[in-house]
Every structure is written in C-alpha cells, then in structure tokens.
Structure 1
C-alpha cells in the first residue's frame, strides 16, 4: 500500500486508484469490494440468523479490534457515494486506519485466491471466505498459525475468536499467567485457508493452502512485526499440516533442528523464520483440539487407561507451548530456547500438575477428584 500525504492507494479487486483518509475518518472502498472482504452477509442463506446491514457488519468487526487493542468507543460506518466510510473514535491513534487498510490489502490477495479456486471448481458449496476480522491490530502479543476457522465462528458467533479451539487455548494461556481479559491479544490468528468451513473439512481444504500462500506470507510479515521494526512477535504453529506447510513454504528461510536431515518440524520444536530480514521465533505445537481425539477411548478400542495416558502427554505439551507463548509474548526480546526450557521445567512431562490439569479440563473432574485420580495413577 502506498501512502502519500494522507492518500491511501489500493489496486486490484477491492479498489482502484487513490482515496483520501483523514486521521480518524477512513474510506474502506467501494461497497461491492468491502462486502466481499467482510463476507457480507455473514450468516444469511434464505433467512438471516442475525440480520445485520453492511454498515453494522463492518462496525461489529472493527469494534472488536478496537476493544482487543484496548481502545474505548465505537466506530461509525456509513455508505456514501458508493463507498464504505468509517469514522474512528477520537481516542484512536491517527495511524490505526493505515493498519486496517494494510490488513484489508493482504485480504485482497486471499480473496483473489478464493476466486481462483472457485474458477477451478475447487471451492465447496458450504465454504465461506472469512478473513480474521476482529483481531487486535496494534497491541497484540503473538501470532497463531492455524488451519482454517470453523464455520460457526462466522455463521453463528460472528467472532473469529469464539470457538472450542480458541476457548481452550485461551484457558491454557490463563493457566500460564495471562489475565483472561488479555488472552485475545495473544491469539492473533493467521489461517492457512481463510475459509469458514465445517470442522471436518480439513482434508478437503489442505489442497487450497498453496493458492493462499501469498496471502498467508503477507499476513505473517505484517502481524509478526512489533512497533520496534527490528523485533518480532513470537509465533506458534499449531498442528502437523501447519508445521509441514511452514517448512515447505519458507524453505531455507525457516531454520530448525533437524531441517538439514529432513526431520519434520514437530511439536515443541523451536524454529527461526526469516521474515523480511527479521527473525521470528516459531514453536511447533499440537492443534488445540487434538487432545479431544488423543484422549478419546474409542480411538483405542475403549481402553480408557491408554486414552488418559496419551491425553496427559498431549496436555503436557500444550501447557509448555502456551507457557512459551505467554512468556515470549510478554517479552519478545527473551531467548526463545531459554524460555522453552523454563516452561518444560514448570510443566514436567507426566508430572502431577500436568495430570491434574488434564483431569480437570478434559475429564471435567473437580480439583480434589483430579488430585486423587493422579495420585492413584502414579
């Protein structure tokens, strides 16, 4: 995006030419382009689950971003001369609109890829294009790399951070010292596919990752950079497909132990990603929902003892990953390897502390029941 004397220049599907923006008033672009980028209407088929106008939809997501960035007030959105115009509260910094436009510009690359997939008949009827709206755009602490957003987040919640996956990881961050009201700042999500789809659509979506790679790389470049331009926020790569994509998409730009010998980037592996000359610390992690499958007795012929054992192992890995994310997000200048070692010491594999958290959060036992179960199993 080119910026000169208050002029925002956008090209492509979304807009063409340059549009003027004041410090607290912003022209997002033409109505059709904004509608596509905001997945409008969000949750309508023949009947809307919650009827919202385009103005209300844009305001809804921008207000989420303001709230998660710690700014009071609400935006005002109006349609005028075929354009969508936004006015921010006076307390919002003058450069906030530029952050919004930079995000939407990256979103154009994602939208272009979605149209390309549709032209190639690779787009499913029950998929919806869905950018990670509502994230903290300025005062976030870390980046999360995931697969795709569940369709409920768009069609029902209209909140990218409202799902079983994000709720579980927020709880793990809280266990590692992040106040509940601040967890959203750590969960700035970039999905390999900006597609709201049913939870079981992973295998069908994986072939689309290549098409979305320019969009994903653009988002990582933008959201990994701190206000100190030479420093980067930490990133957590959740799940085997994401970890595999990262190693393939960045090649030699991504360094981790075992890369030279072809060893896969695995859970609790630590890597360094070169993003525009900046080093981004990346930790491999399980997908937040993996534990529900790993701890399901039906996966082991009804063997609940085995399910608990594997579930506790996964819980330990998740607690360490969330600990690292919390610590590095709080202070990106820390040594990533040293922080990982401290987190492994805090949550030793197979320890009573890990065991009790598993039985409380996954088996839904109260603290005393969980402690008793862990003591009897030791």
Structure 2
C-alpha cells in the first residue's frame, strides 16, 4: 500500500509538472499602451528612484504574478520588437497568458476613464493611474474590494500588496491559519478608484467613481468569477460598501453578508468589513475628545470585527463550498466570544504596541476584562467624523 501511494503521488507530481512546463508568448501591445497601463516610469522625477526600463518594469510586475501564482521556477522576459512589447513566459501552464490579456484589455477602460477625468479638469497632480498588477493571475482564493491604492505602493515599493493596509490584513489572515507565504493568494485587490494617491485623498476621490464604472464592473466580473467557481469577496470600508449598494442594489454593513451577480446567473458571496486602516482612527483618543478608555473600547470592538472578517475570508477561500452564513456566525463567535482574550492581546500588541506580556496583563485587568464581554455591542460614538478610507 505504501509503495502504491508513493507511486500515485509521483504520478500526480509528474502530471502537474507536465502541465506547468510550457512556454507562452504574449503580445502586450504597443510601447505606448504598455507605458500607460504599467504607469511607466513608476518613480521618476528627473532622477529615477529605481532606473528601470519599460521592459524591466513589466518584467517586475509579471514576476510578482508568477511568484504569487506559486510558479517559483517559472520565468518571464520582456522585449520590444518593432514597436510591440512582448512577454515570454517559461514553465507556466498553457493558457497562462489569457487572464493577463483579459486584465490588460479591461485596464484600457480604466485608462479611458482617467483620461476623461483629466479632460474634465478633475485629475490632481499627485495622482497616478495604478492598475492591479503583480497579483495572482490564476491561483487566487478570494477578492478584496477596496477604495484606492496608496501612492507609495507604486512610487516606493512598486508592489500593489506593499502597504500598511495590506500588511495589517495579511497578519489577520495569518491569525486565522493562513501561512504568511500564502496570504497573497487571498489578497487579489480591486480598487473602485484605480488611482494611487496620498493616503488622505479618500474624500477627494468620491467624485471620480462614475468615470470608471465600466472598468469596475468588468474587473469585478472577470476576477471574482474564477474558472473553478465564484470567489468570496470582502468589501472594505464605507465608500466601497456604498458602491456595492449603488451597482448591485445590496445594502452592506460591517459583518453584513450578501450576494451579488457580476454576470447573469452567477452568485458571489460578499462580506462587508471595516477598512483595514479604520482601527487607527477608531482607537485614537482624539476621536473621543481624548478619552483613552473609549478609544480602547472602540479599538477592541473593531479588532473583533476585523478578525471575524478575516476568519470568514480565510475559511471561504479554503473551502468555497462552505455555507457563508454558518461560517460567519462561527467566526464571530470565535473572535468576539470564545477567543476574546486573544482578540484583546492582538489589539494591544499590534495597535498599542505593547509587549506580549504587557498585553496579557492588560487584558486581564479589572478595567478591560468587562469590556471583552461586550465586543459585539456598538462602538462608542466618536466626536469627529470618520475619514473616507
């Protein structure tokens, strides 16, 4: 039996290897088109922070996709020939270029929307068109619907998943059992405003969404309806949850659950969540006229909500056939009731930056322990309005 099992495993491994060992060549379009869609140059202002050529920039993002798809041995090279930019992948499945072609075709709609926005005099000098490049093209587990990417993800890191927002959420996915090396599979991001902007630009972007309507609905359809079945989606922050209501007619609160139909006959489960950075506002004493106790109370409740949302995302990503309602109830019970002490400790270590020992002591103190029984109750009312994250 043992020999048969090993033989079967070897056969499967060889079969997978056979599928993966392919060369794929792809025409990405003219140099002008690729320059527009890859925001080239990413970080130049007379002096380039990273002096990459157009071809090197494209290779940079496509290599990120290969890594996040799990094709660690695959390679990509990019060349410009007769004005056309071509990518050549080695060690990937046949058809690997199809989702990239679809993404870039949809990205053309975003460029058209940004161009109209500029012609109407609404584009700001500090904005950059930044499309969801460098994420998994095939092997993704869930979709994260967000507001806009921070500018430094483009200009500094050249990595869509490198930001305080995505880093924090990755740690919450890991707290729910997803290895750190696998969190990018769960973090395929769609921003309703594909504009890299300063982190304080949320309010300024509220008037731009309609310019990207065709891009938004098409990219949601293409990324959420995976060939293996619909992927679970988390809608982060009030502007995004409002966008869901406007486009799909579904009202969505924090830890609210609904379904949308990106295409006729399709159903995608969508969970409403706080923006990952919301906790920094909610836990700020300045939001409560300097009242630190209220700030801690709010922060603890937001941490419980965020861990519950990440738990649902992780669970649905691992087992897409799960009942989303049953899973959500279980996740909320886990992080707001059963493991409330761990929720508390994670808040004090990650937000208040206490040591593990200090956090444990804090969470067993007479002032905090009673609050842990009320993690499901509403947040205290803030004295200032929340930012448009």
TM-score w.r.t. length of structure 1: 0.89
Q: Which runs of 5+ in 2 are unaligned?
A: 1-21, 370-389
- The alpha-carbon deviation at position 353 of structure 1 amounts to 2.0
**Does 1:270 find its partner at 2:257?**
yes
RMSD: 1.2
1:373 to 362, 365, 385: 362
Deviations 1:133-181 (A, max 9, x none): 0010100000000000000000000000000000000000000000000
- The aligned counterpart of 1:338 is 326
Distance 1:179 1:103 in 2: 27
**Does 1:135 find its partner at 2:135?**
yes
User: SS of 1:237's equivalent?
Assistant: strand
Distance 1:188 1:77 in 2: 24
Distance 1:348 1:305 in 2: 19
**Does 1:119 find its partner at 2:115?**
no
- The aligned counterpart of 1:314 is 302
Residue pairs, 1:52-91, within 5 angstroms: 52-71=52-71, 72-89=73-90, 91=91
**Does 1:355 find its partner at 2:356?**
no
- The alpha-carbon deviation at position 73 of structure 1 amounts to 2.8
Distance 1:312 1:194 in 2: 31
Distance 1:188 1:62 in 2: 14
Contact 1:224 / 1:233 at 8 angstroms: preserved in 2?
A: yes
**Does 1:32 find its partner at 2:32?**
yes
- The aligned counterpart of 2:245 is 247
- The aligned counterpart of 1:3 is none
User: SS of 1:131's equivalent?
Assistant: coil
- The aligned counterpart of 1:8 is none
2:316 to 313, 328, 342: 328
- The aligned counterpart of 1:193 is 193
- The aligned counterpart of 2:182 is 182
**Does 1:236 find its partner at 2:234?**
yes
**Does 1:305 find its partner at 2:278?**
no
- The aligned counterpart of 1:4 is none
- How many residues align structurally? 343
Distance 2:86 2:261 in 1: 36
- The alpha-carbon deviation at position 23 of structure 1 amounts to 5.4
User: SS of 2:162's equivalent?
Assistant: coil
User: SS of 2:242's equivalent?
Assistant: helix
Distance 1:270 1:173 in 2: 19
User: SS of 2:234's equivalent?
Assistant: strand
User: SS of 2:267's equivalent?
Assistant: strand
**Runs of 4 or more above 2 Å deviation:** none
Q: Which runs of 5+ in 1 are unaligned?
A: 1-21, 255-263
Distance 2:189 2:213 in 1: 15
User: SS of 1:25's equivalent?
Assistant: strand
Distance 1:172 1:226 in 2: 24
Distance 1:33 1:317 in 2: 42
Residue pairs, 1:139-158, within 5 angstroms: 139-158=139-158
Contact 1:235 / 1:283 at 8 angstroms: preserved in 2?
A: yes
TM-score w.r.t. length of structure 2: 0.86
- The alpha-carbon deviation at position 182 of structure 1 amounts to 0.4
- The aligned counterpart of 1:13 is none
User: SS of 1:39's equivalent?
Assistant: coil
Contact 1:23 / 1:95 at 8 angstroms: preserved in 2?
A: no
